Amino acid sequence: MLLDLSLFGTTEPKAPRVRPTMGERLAAAIARLAGERAQIVRHAETPWASVTFSGARHSLVLRFEGWEACDDGEAFIAELPEHEFTLPGVLVADAAVVRNDQVLLPEPVLEVEIELLLLNTRD
């Protein structure tokens, strides 16, 4: 026998709202900046702290396959260090390209590794 909740004037409980983590928000922001041809192939997060700040260091590897995608990758490399990220609750203190590998044959592939330092602005 199934219980009909409508007889009691209530409905099924709602599923809990799941908020994306800061790493997921950062990955989404990087994906928007890199363009639709970019693939994030690795993302690692390490907690970071100093005497006055806490946060996390993020390392991401992006892959751009094809001529147009490699052009997008080169534009991404040029834009990343000066890009103003708008992530709630954190400040992107540093964003740098740490590795850039490109292969032209048989098809052009650009792989870019970046590191970002995010500082918490909320306690």
pLDDT digits (tens, 9 = 90+) for 98-118: 999 999 999 999 999 999 999
Cite the DSSP H helix spans in 1-123: 22-34, 67-79
**Percent helix, strand and coil across the chain, each to the nearest 5:** 25, 40, 35
pLDDT digits (tens, 9 = 90+) for 56-93: 999 999 999 999 999 999 999 999 999 999 999 999 99
pLDDT for position 18: 82
pTM for the structure as a whole: 0.82
pLDDT digits (tens, 9 = 90+) for 8-40: 665 666 777 788 899 999 999 999 999 999 999
